[in-house]
Amino acid sequence: MTNLVLFGPPGAGKGTQANVLKDKYDLVHISTGDVFRYNIKNETDLGMNAKSYMDKGQLVPDEVTINMLEAEVDKNPNAKGFIFDGFPRTEAQADALAILLEKKGTEVSAMIALEVEDRILIDRLLERGKTSGRTDDADEAIISNRIKVYYEETAILKEYYLKKNKYFGVDGVGSIEEITARISAVIDSLQQ
């Protein structure tokens, strides 16, 4: 199985690349945000549990998030692999993901991080904000803070996956096709 942790700051193009890669490699894309929204909207037990924390302004405990991800993995027993988008965010979550995948007889193949300069990210998000309707894409101060939080969170994970020889930084600037080609070169090297 090919299991990828796709990383990159807001505006790096993770969603776009995940959509291309899932089709190209026949992988299942699991976006933590989408999983949360689905479970809350459909009022599943896991969704209601998560919502109880979110309604209080608290972070959803890792255990609840992992249980949601495990349910998504279990929905796809014949998958050739997964793209995890938005998870893990901490070393504890990375350990939990490793345990989850080990139970399924597999592991994280690589963490692929899209690398883009902050100014380009800000410009991309402000542009997206004009059409997306997302208020967090319309304010440069909020965007800058989101990027800062990303670096604070992921610096730890970069080290975590570097120690396991599973971290791959990829230039996230260029056309969608150029960036896909760079990521594909990493994925293809894993499968040899």
Known catalytic membership, residue 146: yes
Which one of 24, 134, 148, 164 is the catalytic residue? 134
Q: Are 166 and 158 in contact (CB under 8 A)?
A: no
Q: Outline where the chain has alpha helix (H).
A: 14-25, 32-41, 45-54, 62-74, 91-103, 118-132, 140-163, 176-190
Known catalytic membership, residue 128: yes
* 134 known member of a binding site: yes
Which one of 22, 89, 124, 182 is the catalytic residue? 89
**CA dihedral sign, ordered 175, 148, 86, 3:** positive
Which one of 14, 22, 124, 182 is the catalytic residue? 14
Known catalytic membership, residue 124: no
Which one of 22, 51, 104, 128 is the catalytic residue? 128
Q: What's the half-sphere exposure (Cβ side, CA atoms, 13 Å) at 42? A: 10
Long-range contacts of 137-143, Cβ-Cβ distance < 8 Å, separation of 24 or more: 143/10, 143/11
* 14 known member of a binding site: yes
* 191 known member of a binding site: no
* 58 known member of a binding site: yes
Known catalytic membership, residue 164: no
* 59 known member of a binding site: yes
Which residues are annotated as catalytic? Answer: 14, 89, 128, 134, 146
Binding-site annotation: residue ranges for ATP? 11-16, 128, 174
Binding-site annotation: residue ranges for AMP? 32, 37, 58-60, 86-89, 93, 134, 146
